[in-house]
Structure 1
Amino acid sequence: MSGKTVNSAIFLLVIGNAMALISDVFVKLAEPGEAVFLFAFLRSLITLLLLLPFCLSIKPQGFFKGARVHFLRAHIHFGGMLCMVVALSHLPLATANALFYAAPILVMVLSAVLFGERLKRLSLLAVFSGFAGILVILRPVEFNWAALAALGAALALALGALLVRKLPEQQSTGHKLLLNYLLLLPAAGFMAWWEGAEWTTQLLLNALGSAVFILGYNISVLLAYRQVDASQVTSAEYTGLIWAVVLGWVMFAEQPDLWFLTGSAMIVIPLVMIGIQQGRRNRHRIHV
């Protein structure tokens, strides 16, 4: 694998994470508590429509294969989306995103519990350090419903990642994304109807912006991981926290304190170390 290819993949991940944070900015621009279900429905509908041109080549045979797992994963995703909106509406941008990084830690824990996978020393360090980092960021006086929602979003991300293992391997990423939004749309539509909130131009624009940029993130990640092994560039995903600090400062005048910086380092550094270690092992196997 050439260094040029790896650098290209890293660049895509850095830009992709910037787009993910811009998507979060559009969520945060909405008023706290404003039409949460309607926003989630509009974003899901717009994302589904944006995905359609990329999925024209999908064959109708076996289109709904693995429907039960897709259905479960879609509704976990919907719950996570609602938690994300609540968290971003009430927490600083950087704080919410630091808590979202609990997802890979939860993946490790749940993999051990559900699939009997053994955690290595560095993974155990990441788990304990990560949870300690969350406590440092939140502190008992800071723990509220918004913080709980951020951890709920992280749990949804972790469960979604684990359920990917149960999806049909022959289905493309676009196919899986399409089914995800297609299956969650009825529940999202019903909850938006039950909420009874009024549609506004600003809400629609926020949902559109969030949908476009999160789809841009998904495409960037897909292109990056097509070029190289994931373990070689995964650490670039954590540049999202840097973007969160920068955009939070520029857009919302948020200034991270020492508690945030310390807790974020406790969460991210062990995860980066795991990525570096995996990359070295893969390169060693190639050379051998």
Structure 2
Amino acid sequence: MTARSSLTAFAVAVAGIAVFSVMDMVMKGLSLALGAWPTLLWRGVFGIVLAAGPYFATRKGWPTWPALRLHVTRGLLMAPMSFLFFYGLARTPMAQAVALTFIAPLLALGLAGLLLKESIGPRMLAGSLLALAGGGGLVVGQARADLGHEALVGSLAVLASATIYAFNIIVMRAQAQRAGPAEIAFFQALVIGSLFFATTPFLGLPPLPRGHWHELLLASSLALVSMWLLAWAYARAGAGYLSNTEYTSFLWAILLGWWRFGEGVSPFTLAGAALIVAGCFLAARAERPVLEAIA
């Protein structure tokens, strides 16, 4: 793998994070209107339907057992991860919620070295720490504001989600090397949607979200596009390297949170954004032109 190919994968992953960030904005609005669980359940319905077409049109056979096991494993991770994140996002400003997720790329960096045997060079580590310092600037700035008990509960939920997401990044890397984007998107939608529907005997089936179908369709479409882009990128570069693209979601959270929800931006937020950009740039220059295999 050449350095140019590596940078292309990095750019595609950044695009995937941007699309995912717009989806977060739509999902926050839906979670405020409907609640996190009903929103995720009905989005799951749309996701399965939308992902089925591309998958069945392009598939060359059923997934291998190792690939299917990864699909199920990632789905089992993403269901609680998604609920915790959107539950927290509905109770905290977008920029703060995203900053709290910055523990995930650093955890993923360590897990990539431990589980995938990926090399972690000094530039990659320095870039991650620099970006994390940027996220810390946001946390300090938001801590100075009195956001109340709901924001505290929401922040704890986002932190729990971020911890799960670190493992998700590692599984995503292994999954992308064994299956194509269409297959990954379909089975993730199928597993996650099935898990949320499995709760209906206990929690009941939420009412049809009349007046919000177009937003659910948009959120489902954005989630699939993001998943396709990230699957393509993670098939071509290491998890430790690409995990640094997660920091760019902070920049989108600032813009989208201000535009859609009128959330303010403090000087700490702006300083943190500058450090995040610098950290991502440093990490992007650190990838070796070698793609490690997964045992």
TM-score range, shorter chain: 0.7 to 0.9
Which residue is equivalent to 2:44? 44
Which residue is equivalent to 1:28? 28
Change (3 A) 1:169 1:270: closer
Question: In 2, distance between residues paired with 1:28 and 1:61?
Answer: 35
Change (3 A) 1:268 1:187: same
Task: Give, as a single letter, the amino acid of the residue that structure 1 aligns with 2:79.
Answer: F
Instruction: Tell me the CA shift for residue 81 of structure 1.
Output: 0.9
Which residue is equivalent to 1:82? 83
* Contact kept in structure 2, 1:37 and 1:195, CA below 8 Å: no
Which residue is equivalent to 1:207? 216
- Segment drifting more, 81-90 vs 27-36: 27-36
Which residue is equivalent to 1:122? 123
Find 2:160's aligned residue among 136, 147, 152. 152
Q: Unaligned stretches of 5+ in structure 2?
A: 291-295
Question: In 2, distance between residues paired with 1:193 and 1:269?
Answer: 49
Which residue is equivalent to 1:190? 198
TM-score (norm 2): 0.74
Question: In 2, distance between residues paired with 1:7 and 1:68?
Answer: 30
Which residue is equivalent to 2:293? none
* Contact kept in structure 2, 1:106 and 1:158, CA below 8 Å: yes
Task: Give, as a single letter, the amino acid of the residue that structure 2 aligns with 1:88.
Answer: L
* Contact kept in structure 1, 2:184 and 2:231, CA below 8 Å: no
Q: Alpha carbon RMSD of aligned pairs, Å? A: 3.8
* Contact kept in structure 2, 1:73 and 1:180, CA below 8 Å: yes
Question: In 1, distance between residues paired with 2:207 and 2:42?
Answer: 12
Question: In 1, distance between residues paired with 2:228 and 2:113?
Answer: 30
Question: In 2, distance between residues paired with 1:94 and 1:170?
Answer: 34
* Contact kept in structure 1, 2:31 and 2:86, CA below 8 Å: no
Change (3 A) 1:6 1:43: same
* Contact kept in structure 1, 2:42 and 2:216, CA below 8 Å: yes
1:63-84 CA-to-partner distances (Å, cap 9, x unmatched) read 5544333322111011111122
1:114-144 CA-to-partner distances (Å, cap 9, x unmatched) read 4565643334434544555444433466772
Question: In 1, distance between residues paired with 2:130 and 2:7?
Answer: 29
Which residue is equivalent to 1:286? none
1:237-279 CA-to-partner distances (Å, cap 9, x unmatched) read 755433322222221111211222334444553233111232x
Change (3 A) 1:160 1:261: same
Equivalent position SS for 1:254: coil
Question: In 2, distance between residues paired with 1:128 and 1:10?
Answer: 18
Find 1:247's aligned residue among 237, 252, 256. 256
Question: In 2, distance between residues paired with 1:68 and 1:200?
Answer: 33
* Contact kept in structure 2, 1:19 and 1:214, CA below 8 Å: yes
Equivalent position SS for 2:265: coil
- Segment drifting more, 101-110 vs 190-199: 190-199
Instruction: Tell me the CA shift for residue 145 of structure 1.
Output: 2.2
Task: Give, as a single letter, the amino acid of the residue that structure 1 aligns with 2:38.
Answer: L
